[in-house]
Chain A
Amino acid sequence: ETGVTQSPTHLIKTRGQQVTLRCSSQSGHNTVSWYQQALGQGPQFIFQYYREEENGRGNFPPRFSGLQFPNYSSELNVNALELDDSALYLCASSSRLDSPDEQYFGPGTRLTVT
């Protein structure tokens, strides 16, 4: 078990609504990355946060946004939800100084959009 926690575990939303997912990083880690994992697929990089700023973004539209707080926890916000946003959303933490790419994942939030 990693020390990365995510909430909520499951979420059901209606198309057009907005959602906020939360992540607490592992102790000693200051970098948080978010991934989207569709059923039967590998995780896809959404973006990464370091020192409260976005530090790299994947091919996701602007309605996917995030925040990082001074305690290194993070939020993922998705506006105007679409049916295709249904997926497992994973948060991963890493230490920017030691190994920014050595990432430890949380259990994920399962989002269903109806």
Chain B
Amino acid sequence: GENVEQHPSTLSVQEGDSAVIKCTYSDSASNYFPWYKQELGKGPQLIIDIRSNVGEKKDQRIAVTLNKTAKHFSLHITETQPEDSAVYFCAANYNQGGKLIFGQGTELSVKP
């Protein structure tokens, strides 16, 4: 099947704390897992992605981990800042094609 579950739906942290968002996918053939940040009134912005031949990827304050056996992947944001406040979506490609299946989104609020 094609399904991506994302948790939590809302997340509130203090500035400087870390934030973790988790996703689970169902398609065993998925091999590409992007994360998008969507600010109000804008389209989703690709912030980091990981392919199935890699277990972890970092880019400054953000990192993504992938556990293929458990079909889990997670987004980690360290030293959060107010400008990190947005809705974050995880996604997985379906049947190794160009169709992305998105999670339901996590609304992250970083309080100064």
* Residues of A bordering B, CB below 8 Å: 2, 4, 31, 33, 35, 40-45, 48, 50, 55-56, 58, 90, 94, 96, 100-108
Please give the number of chain B residues whose Cβ is less than 8 angstroms from any Cβ of chain A in the complex.
25
- Measured CB to CB, the closest approach of chain B to A36, in angstroms, equals 11
Among B67-112, those with CB < 8 Å from A are 89, 91, 93-94, 97-105
Can you list 17 pairs linking A and B with CB atoms under 8 Å apart? A2-B43, A31-B98, A42-B6, A42-B103, A45-B100, A45-B101, A56-B97, A56-B99, A101-B32, A101-B98, A102-B34, A102-B49, A103-B34, A105-B36, A105-B44, A106-B43, A108-B42
Q: Are A48 and B99 closer than 8 Å at their CB atoms?
A: yes
For B14, what are the chain A residues with a Cβ–Cβ distance below 8 Å?
none
Cross-interface CB contact of A43 among B45, B49, B93, B102, cutoff 8 Å: B102
Q: Are B98 and A100 closer than 8 Å at their CB atoms?
A: yes
Q: Are B98 and A33 closer than 8 Å at their CB atoms?
A: yes
Cross-interface CB contact of B98 among A41, A90, A103, cutoff 8 Å: A103
Q: Which residue of A lies closest to B33 (CB)?
A: A101
Query: Is B54 on the interface with A (CB-CB < 8 A)?
Result: no
For A106, what are the chain B residues with a Cβ–Cβ distance below 8 Å?
43
The interface centre, meaning the residue of B4, B45, B46, B100 with most chain A CB atoms within 10 A of its CB, is B100
* Residues of B bordering A, CB below 8 Å: 4, 6, 32, 34, 36, 41-46, 49, 89, 91, 93-94, 97-105
Q: Are B105 and A90 closer than 8 Å at their CB atoms?
A: no
Q: Are A41 and B105 closer than 8 Å at their CB atoms?
A: yes
CA of A50 to CA of B93 in the docked complex: distance in angstroms?
A: 17
CA of A96 to CA of B98 in the docked complex: distance in angstroms?
A: 9
